[in-house]
Structure 1
């Protein structure tokens, strides 16, 4: 049997050790990585694995799909491995490097299988990547999510102070004033991170053991989930993570490495939780807006406009 979990974990650890967390790049087009043949986006750990590859095109396909589409893998190109979880009868599990049993119950086994994908940039015969016809504007997106959490779940967002944070006991996000950030991108990516933390509250997703003592292993795990989820959310709207956001979380890198080295399954759990956080917050994400005549139509100008709350729905100063 293969050691797929260890292989994936080692790839991510190696990327982090080079100095750049792999989820801080690769989600910048405003579209998720997706299967070329079906158009369906990949989820969880697979989004992370594909984001680590050095391609701007979000379209992927297997060798077989490429052949059926009349495309050919360019000479010298190597594919990117992703995983799929399947449940099979134990006596039908195929032995091989691309298969790993991750759980057994009675006569059934939960199996992780590895598959190889090729990016559209690695293939000849793929139609050019079309210009995005729709776009989600960053400011209305984060304000709509913040407003949804405030109005629907009772979250409080307060402006002021020097340190962004989520306070579970008060169910409150604290954000410094806008002029304290290097850029609007910094403010948005930081707010996304804190809103991701707020989903752990019992009124929302009720994530177990997510609000632990600072510096503990549980604290590092929750930070990893919020970091992944905020990167995914920024990727959905084509927004790069702000530099101050990256700098403020640099201190967690060593603790993330410790967690990943101790448990080869942790990155899979973290990515799955991050996907759930994105799906939860996505219920308030505004619909993409059509780009007319080559120029963007803002949400405020469209029929799908979301009224922007006063300073992201924050409490008065």
Structure 2
């Protein structure tokens, strides 16, 4: 920016003249406030100087007589008025321009303040919106956690309900199969004309080949239907001895009372020769029954005199020691337990 007076010139001027005009003070203050005023003032001053030069050149060219005529006819006065008017117009234009510039700066400052306030309001609004969004996000996360917990609870309840329904279905099926098997046996429709020891072994095999074994597999309950079967056999059987008896004697009477066809049929149903040794260790009583029937089906010339006693001896030598005497409940319970466990072993081996 161009200044009208440098600090040194301004001081010299004041020192030489001895005073400072009000217009000079005003211009200096205005220049300090609006630096571009100096540029504009210089331009207007130069324009004024150019006009004054033209006026002086005109006066010099006219000479003394021309100037005298100008004074007489008033043209010189008109030119002076024109010059003064030109200077006044230049000063007014300068003043108006400065005022316009000042007003423009005020408007710009106001606009800046308004813009700043708007930006501050926008910042606050954005901050509040961010806080609201954060609260909403926290609420959504909390709701999501609650929903997940609820879903997990519902899932667990559904699983529990499905498990209970499945157990109920399996239990109903086991009850129906057991009732059907026991009812047919008690009515003499199955295993008729067979000795009661053979009937118990075959009956237990039929029961634990039905839905009863599925119940034990899915629930792990190995007591309910085993005890129920023992009680039903004891309640419906009419051939059970009332006192202790020898297992060998019972089995000897059993095979002797059977005809050849029933011996061969039951020997095939209860055969133990194809059963692995690992399974045989868990069914010693069934081993004795099956071995007795197999030995009883041999021709007379090679058949032992007492197949049951021979079977007990083989069991003690190859499998396990068993008691020589028992009663009806203990014998039935043992046959039922061995049969049920053997059926579970077969199913587990197939599944694996």
Q: What is the TM-score with the length of structure 1 in the denominator?
A: 0.19
| Bigger proportion of residues as strand | 1
Larger radius of gyration: 2
Report which structure shows greater RCO (CA 8 Å, sep ≥6). Answer: 1
Q: What is the TM-score with the length of structure 2 in the denominator?
A: 0.18
| Bigger proportion of residues as helix | 2
